[in-house]
Amino acid sequence: MASPRMETFCCPNRDAATEFVVTFQPVLFGALSLGSAALSLLFAILQILPKRKGYRRLGQYPLPRPASSSRILFIISICDILGCTGVIVRSSVWLGLPNIVDHISVVNNTDVWPEVFCLGSAMWIQLFFSASFWWTFCYAVDVFLVVKTSAGISTIILYHMITWGLAVLLCVEGVAMLYYPSISDCEQGLQHAIPHYVTTYAPMLLVLIANPVFFNRTVSTVTSLLKGRQGIYTENERRLANEIKIRFFKIMLVFFICWVPNIINESLLFYLEMQTDISDNSLRNIRNTALITWFIMGILNPMQAFLNTLAFHGWTGFDIDFSLQQRRELVWDSVSTSAANMTSHNPVVGTTLLYQSHVQESQKNMMGNGQHHSDAISVLSEGNRHVNGGSSSPVYQGW
């Protein structure tokens, strides 16, 4: 689970609210987190592996890739997988060595290794999930820029600088403020903890607030582009716009499901921190709600890795292609031939629209200043799959 409470727990003189949630049924919580992270990691890796039919990976595209959006989706999945790995390691150690948690206290302050492991694992998890948040924001910005301008793959370098730079900077700054003057004697008081929580939740809130705005404006722009291609809005173009809208909705739905419980839980714990006695009977409902959301976080936070791949690509199946290089060559030749044949005979294939042919048709119709419009549609339509005559047709997928 990615919560700043885990870093706060690493302080021997932690606050009462953090002590309350982290020490409540730690074995059960660790087992749930471990199980959720392990399943999410397994299925996320399965999702992004190359498949024999219908799902195509890096290097298998007969048309040029116009923007960095598909690479961003792949990087988000990698960040989620690395974050899940941290959750698995931390939960496994805490379950296998339960005494290591007891050593993180003011009484047993001679051994610093439990605190070092606690801090190191917490920072690893926070760093990669925070990077995932920044990359998710960059994805929303990128798809918007693609339909507004001719933004290309070169922008990926700028996104790397922004995401990793901000993720590392905010993580280090927040932890430095929290553990001042030392990890064995953290400064108490909300004025030292708040900067750490702000640096953790700032990218999360940015995605929750800004991404829907960017996605909504992108869908509106794409709809205008589709209408302006031939002056009409056909059923195929309406279907394409709906596919893009649904894809953005699924991305935001996964984010809300996985991370809104964190905000609710943190608000409740901050309220408890401001009370003189958190064990007061009048706070019973708040304590119970905080515990419920705490366990929900432990389950849902790691599940983002798998759920994101479903939102990006749909279910890709179990038919893994282990002969990757050979499959690349075969798919390149067969798809190039099939796309060319379909374009020459029927650019738009009824209700089973092949997006590559759709892009090629738009390139013919808009020659010149409309080139980046078709590029934008090809980027936004990646990740969908359609069935043509009972067999899976290769379409754009994010890598």
Integer Cα distance of 111 and 382 in angstroms:
52
Q: Tens digit of pLDDT per residue, the chain (399 long)?
A: 677 788 777 887 778 888 899 889 989 999 999 999 999 999 999 998 887 765 444 334 333 444 578 889 999 999 999 999 999 999 999 898 877 776 676 555 556 778 888 889 989 999 999 999 999 999 999 989 888 775 555 678 889 999 999 999 988 888 887 777 777 667 666 666 777 788 889 999 999 999 999 999 999 888 887 776 666 667 777 888 888 899 999 999 999 999 999 999 999 998 998 888 888 999 999 999 999 999 999 999 999 999 999 999 888 888 787 765 544 444 433 333 333 443 333 333 333 233 333 333 444 444 444 455 555 565 565 555 433 333 333 333 333
Instruction: State residue 388's pLDDT score.
Output: 36
Instruction: State residue 6's pLDDT score.
Output: 81
Instruction: State residue 133's pLDDT score.
Output: 96
Under CATH, which architecture does the 6-10+26-51+65-271+285-312 domain have? Answer: Up-down Bundle (1.20)
What stretch of H or E contains 387?
strand 386-388
Integer Cα distance of 263 and 37 in angstroms:
20
Largest Cα–Cα separation, the chain: 79
Short-list 304, 323, 148, 306, CA closest to 220 = 148
User: H helices of 153-189, where?
Assistant: 155-178
Q: Contacts from 181-184 at CB under 8 Å and sequence distance 24+?
A: 183/10, 183/11, 183/112, 183/115, 183/116, 183/119, 184/12, 184/109, 184/112, 184/115
Question: What are the domain boundaries of the chain?
Answer: 6-10+26-51+65-271+285-312
User: How buried is residue 169: exposed, middle or buried, by Cβ count under 10 Å (0-12/13-18/19+)?
Assistant: exposed
Q: Are 83 and 303 in contact (CB under 8 A)?
A: no
pTM over 0.85: no
